[in-house]
Amino acid sequence: MRTYTHRFSNFLSTICLYLFISSAPLGAIDRLPVEQRRNGSETLKAFEESSKAGLSSTVRLLSKGRTLALGTIVSRKGHIMTKASSSIEAEEAILADGTRYKVQAKGKDKETDLAVFKIKGAKKLTPVSWAEKKDPGEGSWLVSADYNLKRLKVGVVGAKSRPIDRSGGVIGVILGRDGEEVGGILIQQVMPRSAGAAAGLENGDIVTNVGGQDVTDREKMIELVGSNDPGDVVVIKVRRGKRMLSFRVTLGHRSVVFDMMSRNARMSGPVSKRKDNFPMIIQHDISLPPTAMGGAVLDLNGNALGINVARVDRVTTYALPTSFVLETLKKLRRSKPKKSDSNSL
């Protein structure tokens, strides 16, 4: 612990020195060496305790070889918690040491977008240790595992903990004419890279049914779709020429679909399908891809302050605080999964 404290003190001294001399003319000083920047090798040495804890208690969740999300180990018997809307098709878990296990879904919670999986056949795993401090406070240092479990990344708390309101999911289409004479609701345009485009909807399709309800009115369709959250799956039935087709659409986020032409959205890259409607969040600036959601965010001692649940943009990630994570875990352990839900989330 003494070595760790000494390393972190040296790290802070380096940062403070850099901030002090940064006001000098650009030609008078060299830039801070790469290894001493926020996620450089020297910086990460100061977080060695957190790195060991974070990587040993985190898994990658995959489907057909593709990483969907990270999972946080919460029991020695192999229970893990993760982001529900990102891990729907998870089949396999890989530990940081490369060991592979099959996984089984045990339940999900719509309010927090968390899910519990069970690693089959795993014993004596290393569960995460939860931090006693409830709110890290603005400016606090944090670390979290990158999506490949090769290293941890460093960041700080960027704002006060707060709830995030709901905005509803969208298909990502511009609607045209509606009514009985049209036969439903015309899709005038499918936005590029939207949920509708990914599902297979096309310009000119006529929507006849949303989530099991027949529709002929645009406002009714908007109401039905908007009652679901980003990441939810809605069945959309359309008429295309003389054919009747059905599509399972995983709803996207309004800001992602309709603001993608903005400069910030272009720079942000991929974001989480669901990034709103959370009871409480810790906002931090650790740069993580959507596939790193489900991993724990840790303090400097390697204790978990919460679980990452949404990549919002290039400088904003939301984590659900520990108290909400543990309450959700208790709720899901008490509930028994329905037979119809055994193969899906």
pLDDT tens string 143-202: 999 999 988 899 999 999 999 988 888 999 999 988 877 888 999 999 888 899 999 999
Are 188 and 286 found together in one domain? no
Are 34 and 106 found together in one domain? no
Asked if residue 297 belongs to a domain, the reply is yes
Q: Could you give the C-alpha distances from 196 to 200, 207, 343, in angstroms and in order?
A: 6, 12, 24
Mean pLDDT of the 90-103 span = 95
CA-based torsion, 301, 304, 306, 310: positive or negative: positive
How many structural domains compose the chain? 3
Asked if residue 263 belongs to a domain, the reply is no
**Beta strands of 35-84 (E only): which ranges?**
58-63, 66-73, 79-83
Are 155 and 285 found together in one domain? yes
Are 111 and 72 found together in one domain? yes
Are 20 and 64 found together in one domain? no
| Domain region containing 10 | 2-46
Residue 159 belongs to domain with CATH number? 2.40.10.120
User: In the beta sheet, which residues pair with residue 161?
Assistant: none
Are 229 and 93 found together in one domain? no
Q: What are phi and psi of 230, to 5 degrees?
A: -55, 135
Asked if residue 114 belongs to a domain, the reply is yes
Q: What is the pLDDT of residue 290?
A: 95
Q: What is the pLDDT of residue 333?
A: 85
Are 289 and 208 found together in one domain? no
Asked if residue 271 belongs to a domain, the reply is no
DSSP character at residue 312: E
Mean pLDDT of the 87-106 span = 94
Mean pLDDT of the 243-254 span = 91
Q: What is the pLDDT of residue 113?
A: 95
305-136-76 Cα angle (round to 5)? 15
Alpha-carbon gap, residue 142 to 280, rounded angstroms:
18
Tokens 């089949």 label which residue? 91
Q: What is the pLDDT of residue 22?
A: 42
* The token pair that represents 24 in the structure block: 């000098």
Are 149 and 71 found together in one domain? yes
Q: At 41, is the pLDDT very low, low, confident or very high (cuts 50, 70, 90)?
A: low
pLDDT above 60 (res 6): no
Among 317, 323, 18, 272, residue whose Cα is nearest residue 156: 317
DSSP character at residue 127: P
Asked if residue 260 belongs to a domain, the reply is no
Are 295 and 217 found together in one domain? no
Asked if residue 268 belongs to a domain, the reply is no
pTM for this predicted structure: 0.74
Asked if residue 177 belongs to a domain, the reply is yes
Are 89 and 6 found together in one domain? no
Q: Could you give the C-alpha distances from 152 to 93, 236, 283, 317, in angstroms and in order?
A: 19, 41, 17, 15
Query: Which of 38-42, 219-223, 228-232, 274-278 reaches the highest mean pLDDT?
Result: 219-223
Asked if residue 267 belongs to a domain, the reply is no
Q: What are phi and psi of 144, to 5 degrees?
A: -155, 150
Are 223 and 309 found together in one domain? no
